[in-house]
């Protein structure tokens, strides 16, 4: 598992390029914030997490499936990741930050124009002061 990337994944890079092309500027992996969000928009007090469906145990997602080998260990690990995500999100909200989450399944297998539309929608959510939440 040491070879698995936690930063600069293909998905994260695609989101970063898309939001940058929309004119949004951000700070990467905010070290002073709970959970070190993938993208931080300080002037908008908004953070974006780009979650992989497997590693963050995306409930109800067809891309998430518990491995058949050592399922008890995997379940403990993945549920631990999910509870850590919830703690980090609560901590950010307590500090007054808006939290947006983009899931891997929202992008995987989509046509380029669908991904572009999704990133435009994400950019609109970042620009507005609307309610935070999942994509």
**How confident is the model at residue 134, as a pLDDT?**
55
The more confident residue out of 35 and 133 is 35
pLDDT per residue over 38-60, tens digit each?
A: 999 999 999 999 999 998 989 88
Q: With bands split at pLDDT 50, 70 and 90, how would you rate the model's confidence at 111?
A: very high
Measured CA to CA in angstroms, residue 135 lies from 11, 47, 55, 112 at distances of 15, 13, 18, 17
Residues in Cβ contact with 69 at an 8 Å cutoff, skipping those fewer than 6 apart: none
Bridge partners (DSSP) of residue 25 are none
- 27: part of which helix (H) or strand (E)? strand 27-28
Residue 6 has pLDDT above 80, yes or no: no
Residue 10 has pLDDT above 80, yes or no: yes
Q: Dihedrals φ, ψ of 64, to 5°?
A: -100, 125
pTM of the model: 0.86
Q: With bands split at pLDDT 50, 70 and 90, how would you rate the model's confidence at 130?
A: very low
Separation of alpha carbons 21 and 41, rounded Å: 15
Tell me how far apart the 2 most distant CA atoms of the chain are, in Å: 45
pLDDT per residue over 88-109, tens digit each?
A: 999 999 999 999 999 999 998 8
């Amino acid at each position: 598992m040491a070879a698995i990337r936690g930063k600069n994944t293909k998905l994260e890079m695609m989101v970063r390029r898309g939001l940058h092309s929309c004119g949004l500027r951000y700070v990467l992996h905010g070290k002073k914030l709970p959970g070190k969000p993938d993208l931080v928009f300080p002037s908008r007090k908004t953070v974006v997490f780009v979650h992989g469906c497997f590693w963050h145990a995306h409930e109800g997602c067809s891309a998430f499936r518990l491995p058949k080998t050592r399922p008890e260990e995997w379940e403990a690990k993945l549920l631990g990741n999910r509870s850590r995500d919830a703690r980090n999100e609560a901590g950010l909200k307590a500090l007054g930050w808006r939290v947006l989450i983009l899931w891997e399944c929202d992008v995987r297998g989509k046509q380029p124009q669908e991904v572009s539309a999704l990133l435009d929608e994400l950019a609109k959510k970042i620009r507005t002061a609307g309610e935070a939440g999942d994509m």
